[in-house]
Structures are given as structure tokens and as C-alpha cells.
Amino acid sequence: MLYNLILTKANEWLSSNRCTVKPILDYINANGNLREAQSQALLVYLFLKIEGENKPLWQLFVSGFFPAMNDFLF
């Protein structure tokens, strides 16, 4: 549940103009040296580090960084 929420937000970030590492991720995926799970893990890691400003995950949830989380609470 939480992983899918984070992955969805990371994919939205990847397709936006705010993603500064898109060329790097495109190159890694084009090489085909990583499995899908490894590629997703790298995407989520970079998303949380760059877009999440390296904040702890609990702070991101409390601050409303993941607005769809409210749907899961009620």
C-alpha cells in the first residue's frame, strides 16, 4: 500500500520537468543491466533524496508530501 503510493508519486516526478536525473535513469534503463525491481528501487531512492529533500519518511507523510495518504487514513 505505502510502496505503491510512493512509487506512483516517484513516477509522476520522473515524467515532470522537476526531475533532474531523468537522463541518467533513461541511460540506466536503456543499458538493460538492472532488473525492474532494481530500477524501481533506484527511482524511489533518488525521488526521496532529491524531491523529498532527504527528509525522514515519517516527516514526508506528516507534512502532506503524499496528499493521497489521507484517502488511506479514513
For 66, left (φ over 0), alpha (ψ -120 to 50), or beta? beta
| pLDDT the model gives residue 69 | 57
Q: pLDDT per residue over 23-54, tens digit each?
A: 999 999 999 999 999 999 999 999 999 999 99
- Which triple of cell numbers denotes residue 57? 519518511
| pLDDT the model gives residue 73 | 53
**Do 5 and 66 touch, CB atoms closer than 8 A?**
yes
| pLDDT the model gives residue 8 | 93
| pLDDT the model gives residue 74 | 45
Domain count of the chain? 1
Whole-angstrom distance, CA of residue 13 vs CA of residue 19: 6
Question: In Å, what is the CA distance from 56 to each residue of 27, 30, 66?
Answer: 28, 31, 13
Domain that residue 69 falls in:
2-73
pTM: 0.86
